Amino acid sequence: CCCLIFALLLIYILIKQSMTWENAQNYCRTHHIDLATVQSDEDWTRLQEAADTFSGFAWIGLYKDINSWRWSYNEESMVFKSWASGQPDNYYGGEECAAIYYNGGWQDFACTSSYYFIEKSDPTFELNY
């Protein structure tokens, strides 16, 4: 007997093109799912692996709503946190979007800044047995 199984794995891909947070989000939503989100240790491990492929900052799907930080994908509340020391600090004011540094720490920035970004993608593959 032969069966067809579809498996869905979420992966994170570093896009080495600098964009504002909003433009990066639009790119991700057009071509894949959304900017990267983290809701578990497994997500965190995959995100760190993507961040390890460059040095600098890259947007993730975390933004500040009126009074809380949220993930852009499905407007999920932030449960898992990995802020760098002293972050978020809103140092220059208007820092309402988050980026990951290559060492894994998150930092808040103005959403109009331009950085690489990490997107969440959902490649589907088939297994036959």
pLDDT 10s digits, 82-116:
999 999 999 999 999 999 998 889 999 999 999 99
Domains of the chain: 16-121 (3.10.100.10)
What's the whole-number average pLDDT of the chain? 86
pLDDT given at position 95 = 97
pLDDT value at position 125? Answer: 41
How far apart, in whole angstroms, are the C-alpha atoms of residue 46 and residue 37? 10
- pTM here? 0.85
